[in-house]
Amino acid sequence: MALSLVHSTLFSKTSQLLIHTKIGFSHFSSSIPFSSSALPSNPKTWRRPVISVLELGGVKIARDDVVRDDPTNNVPDTIFSKLGLQLHRRDQHPLGILKNTIYDYFDTNYSNKFDKFDELCPIVSVKQNFDDVLVPADHVSRSYNDTYYVDSQTVLRCHTSAHQAELLRKGHTHFLVTGDVYRRDSIDSTHYPVFHQMEGFRVFSPDEWEASGMDGTSFAAEDLKKCLEGLATHLFGLLLYVDPVKISGAVEMRWVDTYFPFTNPSFELEIYFKEKWLEVLGCGVTEQEILKRNGKLNNVAWAFGLGLERLAMVLFDIPDIRLFWSDDERFTSQFSKGQLGTKFKPFSRYPPCYKDMSFWISESFTENNLCEVVRGIAGDLVEEVSLIDNFTNKKGMTSHCYRISYRSMERSLTDEEINDLQMSVREQVQSKLNVVLR
Ligand code: DAH
């Protein structure tokens, strides 16, 4: 089951504590074809080659450093293959275009005061990812079900907030951190286990709020909302009315009060897209403890974490999050450097194929594990995995029926190919997930 606030805001209230919820809470250029159009038709006999060494922020990383057969490691090859691709650093990619447009906004409005980082290594310590931003020891986001662990003390960052503390300690007071983040998750058109975030952080000194007659927290909260509303206006080119929180024209937005371990008060900004409210960013006034620990005793600060894919899906009309990873020229050629908001023209819509599978679950079963198995076999050919039936019999055994939708965004799939995929999925679900197929 999807955490409701994944992608931009894993840490807010709905995902809170483990004990409260079962669901949980340098350039590397590759010559490997990533578009699935390059996949040979028999997925059983073909394995996507995995690059064995890559360079991240000047550090060389070998596959075996990240993917290991060891109980403290849960990083599959499908995830390793995404490390170092850095979509957000490609100026002609929707994510790079969006990042640059946000940079423009900050440069213009804050006279180049914000320092920018977009190459920090995504492999971070548990301390950086969780402890430094006050994520409680029992928070669901720390579980192996939700986060990719390289070993018990090292993770693939699940948010760009992982860099707040180190940058503060280095003396930065205004910064933007953009990067790829990793989360184990369910599968649908807006969820992908790797996505991109931009973290914004601004520190104020007492003289900045004292003159206003406000207390520091209210001052920072007001400044934060003003900054983000200005950003929204810049991105959408429309006027934003905060009360009743609505943007005029095509895009509707709202502020929602929420909870994050690292901010108080905390807010989310949601955008109405395809009949759903999508969280696009979380933000708030930084907990004093974070500032105190990192040498900013007499200050207040605000921070935000923005999900780039979600915003880009709305701005560019991109219907499926998998498209961001496509190397198909029919996708990549549609975007140009500096052109925000070019509407994506779907090149064709190939038919989906649905396969259902039912099984008796065991105590340890989780939907995220199921999705990882399916993705490991079908890659980006899987569009959605959804629970369509769930019951418990008199003996207390629980059965789940999942519908798997297979669809390529680039070509038609053959029956044979899908049957092969589904057969492998069934085999691996049974052997790896400790369930009994029905
Ligand atoms: N790190 C949060 C997440 O990924 C998003 C976020 C919320 C970042 C509030 C922030 C913040 O800097 O202040 O769910």
Find the 204 Cα to ligand 1 centroid distance in Å: 19
Identify whether 265 is preceded by a cis peptide bond (ω within 30 of 0).
yes
Q: In this predicted structure, what is the pLDDT of residue 251?
A: 67
Q: Centre a 10 Å sphere on the Cβ of residue 91 and count the other Cβ atoms it contains.
A: 12
Same domain flag for 255 and 389: no
Bridge-based pairing state of the strands 174-182 and 115-117? parallel
Q: Indicate whether 326 belongs to any domain.
A: yes
State pLDDT tens for residues 384-399.
Answer: 999 999 999 999 999 9
E-strand ranges in 183-262 read: 194-204, 240-241, 246-247, 253-260
**Nearest protein Cα to ligand 1, atom 7:** 282
Atom in ligand 1 nearest the alpha carbon of residue 5: 14
Q: Indicate whether 343 belongs to any domain.
A: no
Per the structure, the count of domains in the chain is: 2
**Nearest protein Cα to ligand 1, atom 14:** 9
Atom in ligand 1 nearest the alpha carbon of residue 10: 14
Question: Which CATH number covers residue 57?
Answer: 3.30.930.10
Domain residues for the domain of 133 are 53-333
**Nearest protein Cα to ligand 1, atom 3:** 9
Question: Which CATH number covers residue 412?
Answer: 3.30.70.380
Which tokens is 425 given? 């999925």
Same domain flag for 358 and 328: no
> How many residues are listed for the chain in this entry?
438
Calpha distance 305→322 (Å, rounded):
21
User: Which string of b and e fits 353-384 if b means at least 16 CB within 10 Å?
Assistant: bebebebebeeebbbbbbbbbbbbbbbbbbbb
pTM equals 0.87
State pLDDT tens for residues 136-188.
Answer: 999 999 999 999 999 999 999 999 999 999 999 999 999 999 999 999 999 99
Q: Indicate whether 399 belongs to any domain.
A: yes
State pLDDT tens for residues 330-373.
Answer: 999 999 999 998 999 998 889 999 999 999 999 999 999 999 99
Same domain flag for 275 and 162: yes
**Nearest protein Cα to ligand 1, atom 4:** 9
Q: Indicate whether 132 belongs to any domain.
A: yes
Pocket of ligand 1 (CB under 6 A): 8-11, 159, 161, 199, 260, 262-263, 282-284, 303-305
Find the 425 Cα to ligand 1 centroid distance in Å: 35
Find the 260 Cα to ligand 1 centroid distance in Å: 7
Same domain flag for 361 and 323: no
Please state whether 311 falls in left (phi above 0), alpha (psi between -120 and 50) or beta.
alpha
Of 298, 333, 368, the last residue of a domain is 333
Same domain flag for 359 and 271: no
Q: Indicate whether 346 belongs to any domain.
A: no
